[in-house]
Chain A
Amino acid sequence: MALIRLMLTIALLALASSVMAAGIEIREFDDPVTEQRYRDLTASMRCPLCENQAIDDSDAPISGDMRERVYQLLQDGQSDIEIVNHMVQRFGEYILYNPRLENRTYLLWGLPIALVLLGVVVVVMMVRARRNASAKALSAEERARLDALINRERSS
């Protein structure tokens, strides 16, 4: 296992360094919208070879090939979804930095939203509890004194 990994690393390194620093291509676009789509698409696809880089800033040869393919498909008039599907068919879901919403990613997308809702509930419950607590714990006179103490610093 370790040997395979070592070999793999050597193989990939050789590939990476032989054609490094190739990330800058000069491309012509028909209109700024297509250019922006090209940027967005290449920024949201992960280079399958590199550690953790989008294909638009990776020097790996495969990233160059993928950029070229995205460009070609854009020239052919394909939609973003078609282009993404084209790439996923070949390289797998792994290359999508924006994981699709499906069974296995419901939790990924849903939990933050659920937490925001839960947060609202927690705040409401806590403030309501604390409001009652303050009413019970102190008499009006005590409270006035406490308020004065608390806010004295602020008004100074």
Chain B
Amino acid sequence: MTRRLLLLLLPIGFLGVALFLYQGLGRDPSHRDSALMARQFPAFEATTLRDENRQVDQTLLTGDVTLVNVWGEWCPACKQEMPQLLELADQGIRMVGINYRDTREKGLEFLSEFGDPFDVNVFDPEGSLGFDLGVYGAPETFLVDANGVIRYHHKGYVSPEDVRERILPEVEKWR
């Protein structure tokens, strides 16, 4: 009798595994949190997109809650999320852009065509700041608090729902 009971553990054990598989179904396997969450924004030194003589560094991101958006002219989703970013800027949120793996010419062309919600655009043609941020494709958006600590990370396209349901609440939370 005990043998039968032991054998009954087999289907029960399998159902346990199946439960995990079921949980996995609703998830996006490519979704990951940034490794920099709750850490200081990486140190950098770079020029800005508009002015090749102006040097900026990580102190750019202290003093106020800032949304940092990594974009490039070559990235179609960046163009599509611009209206949402402009709306965020209209709401008084400080925006900083990182022009990632781009040329000055193309980047400025992009801004004049799709609008410029950014306070400053950091020029990152080699993607070295992007690399230190763990960026592996644009667009990516980081929320940095007044102390320069990364508090939220959004990978990919920012939709109007994302703005309402995730980004605005996060901004409020860290203000």
Contact = CB atoms under 8 A, between A and B. Distances in A.
Interface of A: 1, 3-5, 7-8, 10-12, 14-15, 18, 48-49, 60-62, 65, 69, 88-94
Contacts of A69: 131
**Interface SS majority for chain B:** loop
Contacts of A8: 30, 77, 155-157
A60 B156 CA distance: 16
Contacts of B45: none
Contact of A90 (B28, B33, B78, B134): B134
A65 B131 contact: yes
A14 B137 CA distance: 10
Given A48-B136, A91-B35, A15 B157 contact: no
Given A62-B137, A92-B33, 13 more contacts: A7-B157, A10-B76, A10-B77, A12-B137, A12-B156, A15-B74, A48-B136, A49-B136, A61-B101, A88-B35, A89-B36, A91-B134, A94-B32
B133 interface: yes
B132 interface: yes
Interface string B21-33: 0000000101011
Given A4-B156, A7-B157, A49-B137, A90 B35 contact: yes
Contacts of A7: 77, 80, 156-157, 159
**Interface SS majority for chain A:** helix
Contacts, number: 72
A93 to B, nearest CB: 8
Contacts of A10: 76-77
Contacts of B68: none
Contacts of B47: none
Contact of B139 (A5, A11, A88, A90): A11
Given A8-B77, A11-B156, A18-B74, A90 B137 contact: no
A82 to B, nearest CB: 16
B134 A92 contact: yes
Interface in B47-92: 74-78, 80
B103 interface: no
Contacts of A1: 28
A93 B37 CA distance: 13
A89 to B, nearest CB: 6
